[in-house]
Amino acid sequence: MALRTAVQLTGDDLTIDDVWAVAVDGAEAALSDLAREKIARARALVERAAHGTREHTYGINTGFGRFVSRSIPEELTAELQLRLLRSHACGVGEPYPDEIVRAAMLLRANALAKGFSGARARPVELLIECLNRGVLPHVPSRGSVGASGDLAPLAHLALPLVGEGEAWVDGRRLDGAAALAEVGLEPVSLEAKEGLSLVNGTQFMTAFGALALARARRLVRAADIACSLSVEALQGSRTSFLPQIHAARPLRGQIDSAANLLQLLEGSAINESHRWCDKVQDAYSLRCAPQVHGASRDLLAYAEATVSVELNSATDNPLVLVDDELLVSNGNFHGQPLAFALDALAMATSELANISERRIERLVNPSLSDGLPAFLTLDGGLNSGFMIPQYVAAALVSENKSLCHPASVDSIPTSAGQEDHVSMGNASGLKAWQVLANAERVLAIELLAGAQAVEFLAPLEPGAGARAARDAVRVLSPRLADDRPLASDIEAVAGALRDGGLVAAVEAEVGELR
């Protein structure tokens, strides 16, 4: 069921929030009238190339890749497009997450709606109907080198449209024809260039970017929230977050993170209680949090700028330039901009987890925690308290360090040297997705530990934002007295970070964070 008015696809104004609404929240999509007009104009030019002068035009009357010089007779035009999908659908490995596939369906439809591809409206409409009616193509996640876009994944995505391949409907894996029939749809017969228009593009890389950035927007605020709890529990100073300090080094992310921390710590009785203590400086994981969190924010801003452009870009080959009456070979399908952006996203979110784990260590280590009980338990020895959650955070952070080696610096030539430089952007997306999930869990552990730790300072209360964070954690996880398995508690808090629930609960108390 749609949760909002259908997202109208024009090819020009899709946003990250729109992608999240359709792929995660279940909003429907629709092809706009403007898009239909642009599609019709581009299609007329393709028809002329396919059935008129018969000029040598890539992918319409030629083979693909190294076979570009091979002419294809007009009577085999449609067969060429079908065989393209079949030949390219050779991905392997576990399937992409469902929300990534839905996002890729939406993005491919939006790219076709832009009117630079030359497909008819019918395949686009069918793709949108599959999305709206719950037909989810089965798409293996390994096999794209991110050069001519995501060829193998998009071929798997497109095959159900012609009644082939496999798709999921209501939890059942069916062949493409059966999946369409299950929801009252019929397959389409492809015509000139339409197979190529369905597989040439960067939509899986872009899907990773859009959905990961939607989560990362929440994660940067959650990092400030978790840090505020740790600052309170460790009786750290607010003065490191004063705006005058950050105005002297005016990096946008740093300024915003520092402002958030001051806002979250406002009204703290804990802070007031140690105002005149003899501690001169806090550890870097507290004192330098705005600088580190802010650097991640700035890197994510770069990634978001790239992905936001890609959402509404024409990445097909050849492109149909209607106003110039040209079909031109080009390289807009190359995923290098996205590969860089996804590797940057992985590094940015990894560093949020990296510094978070150091704060967790300070919370559980009695040599560093300024009076908190070892591992945040009163009956140490019989109970281990938060000993092992810190191990888990360390494991996740270590895994992230390996995953942050950039895929975008690699290239292996393909198609007999015709495609002699590739982006490996799909690998960047897969890695960034895992790094992000790991980072959410590390911050969840910090929030759990921070909530436990700050309660040892009762009856003193933390600032309004930190207090709201503790209360939000307590809704999901009761205070740890005697040991119990905390795996489900960690996943529950990580889920609240992922869906934005925890940040929303804090903002309801202190106002919107930056």
- What is this structure's pTM? 0.96
Find out whether 469 and 251 touch, Cβ atoms under 8 Å. no
**Is the per-residue pLDDT at 1 higher than 90?**
no
Q: Residue 186, class by beta-carbon neighbours within 10 Å (0-12 exposed, 13-18 middle, 19+ buried)?
A: exposed
- Model pLDDT, residue 71: 72
Query: What is the chain's mean pLDDT, rounded?
Result: 94
Long-range contact set of residues 478-485: C-beta below 8 Å, sequence gap at least 24: 479/451, 479/452, 479/455, 480/376, 480/377, 480/385, 480/386, 480/452, 482/379, 482/383, 483/377, 483/383, 483/384, 483/385
Residue 201 DSSP one-character state: B
CA proximity to 79, closest of 192, 165, 181, 226: 192
CA of 383: how far to CAs of 388, 447, 457, 484, in Å?
A: 11, 20, 20, 9
pLDDT tens digits, 51-102: 765 566 776 777 666 666 677 777 788 898 999 999 999 999 999 999 999 9
Find out whether 276 and 71 touch, Cβ atoms under 8 Å. no
**Is the per-residue pLDDT at 171 higher than 90?**
yes
- Model pLDDT, residue 3: 47
Tell me what the mean pLDDT of segment 306-324 comes to: 95
Whole-number Å distance between alpha carbons of 183 and 131: 11
pLDDT tens digits, 177-209: 999 999 999 999 999 999 999 999 999 999 999
**Does residue 96 have an active-site annotation?**
no
**Is the per-residue pLDDT at 458 higher than 90?**
yes
Tell me what the mean pLDDT of segment 352-367 comes to: 98
Whole-number Å distance between alpha carbons of 219 and 349: 8
DSSP per-residue codes, 406-420: -GGG----BGGGTB-
Domains and CATH numbers, the chain: 7-201 (1.10.275.10), 208-312+344-409+416-510 (1.20.200.10)
Percent of the chain, pLDDT > 90? 88
Matching residue, tokens 């309801």: 508
Residue 458 DSSP one-character state: T
**Is the per-residue pLDDT at 306 higher than 80?**
yes
Q: Which of 58, 96, 302, 391 is catalytic?
A: 58
